């Protein structure tokens, strides 16, 4: 083999591996962008688009770190205690041994990507046949690991989108909408005040005068009573209690 042929073949393998790495990076962005939806009711715009914009310009190292959080069996996401914010998170958890292997693989992949992109000139002597052939062998071994990781990401992404589709179908159903509305009504200030008042006032008799309850609610949660139709969809307190 001539030196020029060895050099050309080595550069071909560099380009091949960088292309696979870019595919991995693209899959990480797609997975992370769709693994969660979060925002607040006061924020304008599409929350999904905000996720896409958030990950669009992140480095591969940052993407790998956040992906590892999704599969880390010991990682706990902070709870969302703000009534104004919402979040939906899709996770794939693995056992500790699998996680450690995945962490090692992704860490090495980020290092390989940086080496090929920024330090290739330091790794090879283009005047040496042995140097070009040795790097070519390393690139072949590197490719094998990259392909495994890329295929694994594709499988996880497919499962993610299948799950999202199933969840979206559930959220759009009449049964879920009804259950969500009932849950919201039961946790509302108006109903909580009514439950507390009825528990205290009904006592052993087991019944409560509606007029007395209405007077109490007008004093404690007047805004809720004024906007009964707009907030709860009922024209009267009797309709709400039914």
Query: Of the candidates 158, 23, 34, which has an alpha carbon nearest to the alpha carbon of residue 90?
Result: 34
Query: Of the candidates 13, 21, 22, which has an alpha carbon nearest to the alpha carbon of residue 105?
Result: 21
Question: 40: number of CA atoms within 13 Å, CB side?
Answer: 8
**Predicted pLDDT of residue 180:** 74
How does pLDDT run across 135-153, given as a tens digit for each residue?
A: 999 999 999 999 999 999 9
How does pLDDT run across 62-82, given as a tens digit for each residue?
A: 999 989 988 887 777 666 665
Q: Are 33 and 67 in contact (CB under 8 A)?
A: no
Residue 55: pLDDT band (50, 70, 90) is: confident
**Predicted pLDDT of residue 85:** 61
Q: Are 68 and 103 in contact (CB under 8 A)?
A: yes
For residue 79, the 8-state DSSP code is P
Paired tokens of 62: 């940052």
CA gap 76, 70 in Å, rounded:
9
Stronger pLDDT, 41 or 100, i.e. the higher one: 100
3-state secondary structure 150-210: HHHHHHHHHHHHHHHHHHHHHHCCHHHHHHHHHHHHHCCHHHHHHHHHHHHHHCCCCCCCH
**Predicted pLDDT of residue 86:** 61
**Predicted pLDDT of residue 16:** 96
**Predicted pLDDT of residue 17:** 96
How does pLDDT run across 27-40, given as a tens digit for each residue?
A: 999 888 888 766 65
Instruction: List Cα–Cα distances, 51 to 39, 44, 222, in angstroms.
Output: 10, 13, 39
**Predicted pLDDT of residue 39:** 60
* Beta strand residue intervals within the chain, DSSP E: 36-40, 85-89
How does pLDDT run across 182-218, given as a tens digit for each residue?
A: 777 888 888 888 888 877 776 656 677 777 878 888 8
Average of per-residue pLDDT across 164-168: 80
pTM of the model: 0.67
Confidence check: pLDDT of 11 > 90: yes
Residue where the block lists tokens 């797609």: 30
Residue where the block lists tokens 């008799």: 205
For residue 221, the 8-state DSSP code is -
Query: Of the candidates 143, 172, 168, 201, which has an alpha carbon nearest to the alpha carbon of residue 37?
Result: 168
Question: 74: number of CA atoms within 13 Å, CB side?
Answer: 5
């Amino acid at each position: 083999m001539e030196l020029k042929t060895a050099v050309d073949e080595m550069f071909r393998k560099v380009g091949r591996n960088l292309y696979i790495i870019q595919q991995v990076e693209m899959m990480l962005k797609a997975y992370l962008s769709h693994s969660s939806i979060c925002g607040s009711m006061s924020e304008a715009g599409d929350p999904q688009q905000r996720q896409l914009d958030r990950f669009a310009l992140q480095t591969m190292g940052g993407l790998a770190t956040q992906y590892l959080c999704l599969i880390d069996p010991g990682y706990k996401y902070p709870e969302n205690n703000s009534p104004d914010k919402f979040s939906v998170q899709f996770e794939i958890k693995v056992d500790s041994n699998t996680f450690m292997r995945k962490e090692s693989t992704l860490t090495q992949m980020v290092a390989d990507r940086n080496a090929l992109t920024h330090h290739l000139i330091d790794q090879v002597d283009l005047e040496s046949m042995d140097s070009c052939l040795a790097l070519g062998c390393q690139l072949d071994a590197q490719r094998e690991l990259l392909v495994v990781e890329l295929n694994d990401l594709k499988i996880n992404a497919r499962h993610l989108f299948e799950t999202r589709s199933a969840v979206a179908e559930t959220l759009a159903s009449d049964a879920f909408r009804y259950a969500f509305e009932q849950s919201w009504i039961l946790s509302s200030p108006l109903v909580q005040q009514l439950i507390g008042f009825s528990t205290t006032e009904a006592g052993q008799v087991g019944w409560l005068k509606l007029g007395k309850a209405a007077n109490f609610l007008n004093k404690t949660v007047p805004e809720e009573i004024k906007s009964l139709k707009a907030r709860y969809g009922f024209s009267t307190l009797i309709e709400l209690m039914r």
